[in-house]
Amino acid sequence: MISFSPTEEQQMIVKLVRQFANDEMRKVYRECDENGEIPGHIIDTAWAMGLVSSGIPEEYGGPGGEHSAITGALIAEELAWGDLSMAMHILSPALAAFPILEMGTAEQKKKYLPAFCEDKFKAATAALIEPRFGFDPGSLSTTANLKDGSYVLKGQKCFVPLAKDADVLMVYASEKGKSHGFIVEKGTKGLEIGEREKNMGVKALATYELSLKSCSVPNENRLGGDKGYDFSRIMNCSRVALSAMAVGVARAAFEYSKDYAKERVAFGEPIASRQAIAFMLAEMAIEVDAARLMNWEAAWRLDRKEEATKESSLAKAYTDDMVLMVTDRAVQVLGGHGYIREHPVELWLRNGRGFATFDGMAIV
Amino acid sequence: MIDFELTPEQKEVVAAAHKVAEEMFRPISRYYDEHEHETPKELIDKLWEGRLQGSLFGGLDMTAALRTEEICWGDAGLYLCAPSPGLGGAAVFASGTPEQVQRFLGNYNEDGPKWGAMAMTEAGCGSDTSAITTTAVRDGDEWVLNGEKIFVTYGKKAIEDSEGFVVVWATLDKSAGRAGMKPFVVPAKTPGARVEKMEKKLGIKASDTVTIVFDNCRIPFENILGSPEVRKMEKGTTAGFKKAMATFDATRPLIAAQALGVGRAALDFVRETLDKEGIEIRYGLHRQKLSALERDFMDMEANYKAAKLLTLRAFSLMSQMLPNSLEASMAKAKAGLAVTKITQKAVEIMGPLGYSRKCLLEKWMRDGKINDIFEGTGQINMLVVARRILEFSREQLK
């Protein structure tokens, strides 16, 4: 039966994460953006909430239970509402953990999952994006060739969160024209982590370029082993995560500009009393909700293990436009003040613009 | 639990309605567009005969919305010809006492086809419904109505061609403003109520849109819906007006569902044409690698989905008896805009096939536009949304 109500358990998680986002993330988001650093206690607190380990079976040290894309989307929205850089940092380990959890071989699960259930934050990541025009996850330039029982990876990657600290990197490369995931451990010969990237937004998130110079990994490190894996499902899970985060950023911008418009007086009344402003806000509200519902539907299909490429692609494309429209409008509603870094809206616009680029940088 | 699965019953209803839309509505769609003001009598009779085996019309719940979308996929103008308690019935349900519901709708299924119309708009006021000038004056145990209502959807069918009724919004006391506005039920063929003019329209031509003149029209005292009491404009006494608005909370998502039907008809047409041409929409492909056509089509499809989910959410809240004014107006505003964009873009994409009257696409563009206008224009719905999210009164946001 059609329903738009999260379960009680989901509502509890949302409440918890929202409170954390409000009380912790929102307190420091600006200085994090300026300094490019996230305080350790934020990462530790979020880690202790078990957002990444949820769904990992008890035999690997996890709490068990079902891994759900809908729950993941709900969490991702709240975290991104708090701050996108922190949200991506906090959820970065999932970029390696979730594909292994869903599609890894028994050996891969046994070897890599327990680390994600430990008390201390486990840095891990995925390397998908390549630094070139016309990048498409479906046709990667990075190659993987089997040679003497090992895969040799060659290519360039960028926008790899936490690459420098990550113990495990899920590197996507093309093998015989198809995109595959390869588990690469820290310090593997030929894996060269470049300088930290400087981007327009998500400045508190440490992202790196990396080079794979004939980087050799054992053949058992191919995600899913001989059986292979479902790349389109990984991309769809990523689209849902990113769309949820975009909704979170947009909601933050909408709420802030709405409150501002009610307070800010011009010509004797709040600017929100003018339709030129009020209608912008109304459209923002509608589009934030519409995008969220579309994304929920895609997540729902993923949870039912149904094909979701169409739904998640539509939701992602729609949300990419939506978040830009909403964050831009938020700056516009604040006018000159929106342009000043004392208010958060310019930061949300910079972060919002990134979603069209962030393929594979988050996953639920 | 978040869920997007229709119930088995809803799936059946959708399938049945789709069949009816395809077999009974589509084949005569063009004819009644070209023959404005002609009554599709055969269709009406068939629909009326079939009304008891799983009613195709009426209802204001999610199932009704899903069914409405299917029928409007068939033809949105003919949908408005289908016998139905309609907006008049919705007003009776929303504002009437149980006795009134029984009296005006209890015998609905008996005898011949009937319609229930709603008369709100006047020449001097459209969206500003509180400015109506039609008056109701009490005379003993009767009300005397005077005034002129325009744009009454199936007004002719309701009071001339059938034993239906029209719900008329009139003021008991102009000085009381909104508090003085009340809905009155005027049964068919009541002396003093006459259909004056049938409008010629851009689209939904099969549907009659008329002017009704009330000239010393007398109706029984009991035909006022709700309380006859008028309290002066104090805070919280705009009950009459609020009831009109409460009706909108139910009917606006239903208009959104109509819009969805037209929008999907256009989408399906474009998709089928592209299929025939061997053009595939490559959903998983990175966005900058898509063709302009693919991007346009995906944008249309996403807008349809966005509007549909907002519409279903409005109904979902209603079925849980939760307030849904905000969500109803969000759905209506989005769906009206979405169908406008989708159908206009579809005409562009299809070129000569889109613009020619040989196909139905140009008709859907004309039909779809009404959904951004009636039951509150897109702008009025945006105003409702804005007031709700800002928690502003109508004085704070005009």
Q: Which long-range contacts (CB under 8 A, 24 or more apart) does B284-289 make?
A: B284/A138, B284/A232, B284/A235, B284/A309, B284/A313, B285/A136, B285/A138, B286/A135, B286/A136, B286/A137, B286/A138, B286/A359, B287/A317, B287/A320, B287/A356, B288/A134, B289/A134, B289/A136
Mean pLDDT of chain A: 97
* A279/chain B closest Cα distance in angstroms: 6
Q: What three-state secondary structure class fits A157?
A: strand
The C-alpha atoms of residue B277 and residue B298 are separated, in whole angstroms, by: 17
Fold of B89-233: Butyryl-CoA Dehydrogenase, subunit A; domain 2 (2.40.110)
Q: What is the pLDDT of residue B237?
A: 52
Report the chain B residue with the minimal C-alpha distance to residue A136: B286
pTM: 0.94
Q: What three-state secondary structure class fits A222?
A: strand
Q: Using a CB-CB distance cutoff of 8 angstroms, which residues of chain B are in contact with residue A2? A: 3-6, 62, 312, 316
Answer whether B14 touches A (CB < 8 Å).
Answer: no
Q: What is the pLDDT of residue B94?
A: 80
Q: What is the pLDDT of residue A179?
A: 94
What are the 10-residue block averages of pLDDT along chain B, 398 residues in total? 96 94 97 96 91 62 92 96 88 87 90 93 84 94 97 95 96 85 95 95 96 98 84 52 70 94 98 97 92 97 98 93 93 98 98 95 98 93 97 94
Q: Where are the domains of chain B?
A: 8-84, 89-233, 240-390
Task: Determine the CATH number of domain B240-390.
Answer: 1.20.140.10
The C-alpha atoms of residue B296 and residue B346 are separated, in whole angstroms, by: 9
Q: Is the dihedral of CA B160, B163, B169, B173 positive or negative?
A: positive
Please name each of the domains of chain A with its CATH number.
8-117 (1.10.540.10), 124-227 (2.40.110.10), 231-356 (1.20.140.10)
The per-residue DSSP string of B277-335 comes to: TT----TTS-GGGS-HHHHHHHHHHHHHHHHHHHHHHHHHHHHTT---HHHHHHHHHHH
* A62/chain B closest Cα distance in angstroms: 24
Of the two residues B175 and A315, the one the predictor is more confident about is A315
The C-alpha atoms of residue B190 and residue A114 are separated, in whole angstroms, by: 80
Task: Determine the CATH number of domain B8-84.
Answer: 1.10.540.10
Residues 6+ apart with CB under 8 A from B233: B176, B177, B178, B179
Q: What is the pLDDT of residue B58?
A: 61
Answer whether B302 touches A (CB < 8 Å).
Answer: yes
Q: Using a CB-CB distance cutoff of 8 angstroms, which residues of chain A are in contact with residue B285? A: 136, 138
Count Cβ neighbours within 10 Å for each residue of B84-111 and write b for 16 or more, e otherwise: bbbbbbbbbbbbbeeebeebbbeebeee
Question: B375 catalytic, yes or no?
Answer: yes
Q: What three-state secondary structure class fits B106?
A: coil
How many residues does the structure list for chain B? 398
ipTM over 0.90: yes
Which region among A55-64, A202-211, B53-62 has the lowest average model confidence (pLDDT)?
A: B53-62
- Identified catalytic residue from B70, B122, B301, B375: B375
* B165/chain A closest Cα distance in angstroms: 34
pLDDT bin (cut points 50, 70, 90) of residue A56 is: very high
Q: What is the pLDDT of residue B180?
A: 86
